[in-house]
Every structure is written in structure tokens, then in C-alpha cells.
Structure 1
Amino acid sequence: MTETAASPAQTTPTPQVWPTLRARDARALIDFLVAAFGFEEVVAYEDGGVIHHAELSWPEGGGIMMGQAREEAGNPWTLTPGTFGGYVVTSDPDAVHDRAVAAGAEILQGLHETDYGSRDFAARDPEGNLWSFGTYPGHAR
């Protein structure tokens, strides 16, 4: 199994909750998420052209894990590609939106102000997953 890894400086805490998804073509989805939305590839473990595990970080904190959809006897972790949905907090949704448009992302809902004070937009990736980006950081703890 081979590993590819980037070496970004660790400036945010390591995520403790990892949303996960499966992809029909994990390499293509990783490349899209990096180009269109600005995720950073941290590591991808590949064997025979199949990405078994990859981690992408969000520059403002957090990250996702993913792998290639594949049949594995006895594996209870079988997620259907294209069924993931996530909200990603960003301080600059306009820049992420413009980047996504430039990369050919399908924009489902353009930039708009919400009734709870966030600036958001929504997009779909080539696998069918839904992504919403906005300034709302969640309720204060």
C-alpha cells in the first residue's frame, strides 16, 4: 500500500469528529474538493489504484475522511457514494463560492444571507454529495 501525504503546518487543532464518505472515484473526488472548495489533502493510502483511506483538512479547522466504494465481505462500514451532506464554516464564503464556480462545481443555491445572520451557498460535488458553506459557526457553547 502506498501513501501520499502533504505536509501543511499544523496551525489548527486536530479534528476529533471526522465526517466520512465513500466515492466511486476517490482520487477524482479528492482532486475536485481540493480544487473547487479549498480542502487540503493530508494523506491518501492507495493500493492497486484504489484509495482505501484519505484525509482532507479544512484550512479553518476540521476535516473529512474518505475512501473508495468497494465490496468487502464482513465490512459493516458500507456507505453509498453520493449520500453525504456537510456544512463547512468559512470566514470567506464569497471566495469559496467563486473558487467553486471557477472549478465547475454545480451551485445549488447561490450566495445569500440567512435569517440567522450567516452568509451561505450550497453546491453538489461530482459524486452527488451536498455541501453548504457559510459563516455560521454553530451555537456558542
Structure 2
Amino acid sequence: MTASNPTVWLTLQAHDPRGLIDYYVDTFGFVVTARYGDDGQSVQHAELRWPEGVGRIMLGGYRPGNDWCREPGTAGGYVVTGDPDALYRRVLDHRAEVIRPLSDTDYGSREFTVRDPEGNLWSFGDYTGEPLR
């Protein structure tokens, strides 16, 4: 494995996976890298890459009864961006539901939070985590 391969993936299920994929691409700027089982109504599996790093998400249609099934809209994620101000303007232009407006935190980050159409919460900011010791 190389450093450019993700080692942690956020996984989501959606009532409208096609719509959620479009939302993530248009509103946040994710890039679709794979899409399987798209029958025009649902998507079995899709992979989206965050263009500023190695983070990725997997998502597919909600399939009750599957072993790996979670109710859509119950996830949350934090995405690091080099320019939170520009991304915030982008999400406002796309009329995203802002839960917490862009602000500076007491731990040195500049970030904001939005809710996607399925109900998941997404925070975006420039906090890259504490240094490894």
C-alpha cells in the first residue's frame, strides 16, 4: 500500500443514492471514482474521492435486511480542506443546509457544518489533527 491509498473509508447508505452522489459532487466537490449497479433508480456501490487528500467515501442504496445495513442520515464526517472559506462559499451557492456557520474554533481550526439531503452531518475545516508523538 502506498501513502496515496486511503486506509479509512466512511460508508453511507442512502434512500436516494443517485441524488446524494450528485449532491456530493456538485455541492462539496467530491469526485466519483467508481459506480456499480446503477439501474436508474438506485446504486449498489459507489466510491467518491476527496480531491484535496486521500480520503474517500463509499455509498450505496439503503437495503434493509442486509448484514451491513444502517439507516440513512445517521452518519457524520469531518473533511479537511485547505480553503474552508472558498468551500463555505461553494456550499452556500448550492443552498446547503448550514448547521454551524464558518467560524474559528478554540483549537485553532476554521470550519463549518452542513446537513446533506439524507440527514448526515458534514464538517469541513482546516484542522489536520494533533501531531503524532
How large is the Cα RMSD of the aligned pairs?
1.2
Question: Which among 57, 64, 71 is matched to residue 49 of structure 2?
Answer: 57
1:112 match:
103
Offset at residue 105 of structure 1 (A): 0.6
2:93 match:
102
TM-score (norm. length: structure 2) = 0.92
Q: Partner letter of residue 91 of structure 2?
A: A
1:37 match:
28
Instruction: Indicate the SS of the match to 2:108.
Output: coil
Q: Partner letter of residue 128 of structure 1?
A: G
Offset at residue 95 of structure 1 (A): 1.0
Gaps in structure 2 of 5+ consecutive residues: none
Distance in structure 2 (CA, Å) of the matches to 1:112 and 1:68: 34
How many residues align? The count is 128
Once the two structures are superposed, what CA deviation does each residue of 1:44-77 show, in whole Å capped at 9, x if it has no partner? 11243320000000011211100000234xx310
Once the two structures are superposed, what CA deviation does each residue of 1:89-110 show, in whole Å capped at 9, x if it has no partner? 0110111111111111101111
Q: Partner letter of residue 49 of structure 2?
A: S
Offset at residue 37 of structure 1 (A): 0.8
Gaps in structure 1 of 5+ consecutive residues: 1-11
Tell me which stretches of 4 or more aligned residues in structure 1 moved more than 3 Å.
Answer: none
Alignment of 1:52-91 (within 5 A): 52-61=44-53, 62-72=55-65, 75-91=66-82
Distance in structure 2 (CA, Å) of the matches to 1:119 and 1:82: 25
TM-score (norm. length: structure 1) = 0.87
Instruction: Indicate the SS of the match to 1:51.
Output: coil
